[in-house]
Amino acid sequence: MENALQLLHQRRSIRKFTDQPVSEEQIRSMLSAAMAAPTAHNRQHWQFVVVSQRERLDQLSEVHQYAKMLKQATLCIAVCGDRTQTFWEQDCAAATQNILLAATGLGLGSVWLGIHPKPEAVQNVRRLLAIPEPYVPLCLIAIGHPAEEKPPAERYDEAKVHYEQW
């Protein structure tokens, strides 16, 4: 349990990667972690698109201006939700955080790239990954073996905490 708490702080956005590929086993572990996340009514209406082809990763790096690190990343997972389902964004966000934490635990680097609710980014990702309606890509996650190190996040701020009432 203590390790789990450390992992939460150790997870940082990594945007520089080596060219070493992520193994099939590691991909499976991250997807398994994603699907262990909570969902409203336990509906699990999510879908994951796993991309490792260099050409497609390069294309995804152009979906918006803050996705350039996909040119270096060796893996990308698009987390998609069924927009007809209430709470789909929260469900997919929980899965996304689990993937980031699993990546950290596996010694990989990762970063969350926001897609929904930017219409142009959603359209770009939908086209490149052939995502059908009513699914919407909430985000892309760039993943790879890290080529940078960051200190654990310590952002506790008492001013943001209210007890009993605001």
Ligand X SMILES: Cc1cc2nc3c(=O)[nH]c(=O)nc-3n(C[C@H](O)[C@H](O)[C@H](O)COP(=O)(O)O)c2cc1C
The contact set with ligand X (CB under 6 A) reads: 12-13, 15, 66-67, 111-114, 153
Least Å distance, CB 76 to ligand X, is 12
Q: CB nearest ligand X: which residue?
A: 114
Nearer to ligand X, 33 or 146 (CB): 146
Q: Residue 92 and residue 151: Cα distance in Å, rounded?
A: 27
Cis peptide leading into residue 117 (ω within 30°): yes
Tokens 């979906």, residue?
63
Residue 59 half-sphere exposure toward CB, CA atoms < 13 A: 12
Least Å distance, CB 11 to ligand X, is 7
Nearer to ligand X, 34 or 113 (CB): 113
Least Å distance, CB 14 to ligand X, is 8
Q: Residue 7 and residue 11: Cα distance in Å, rounded?
A: 6
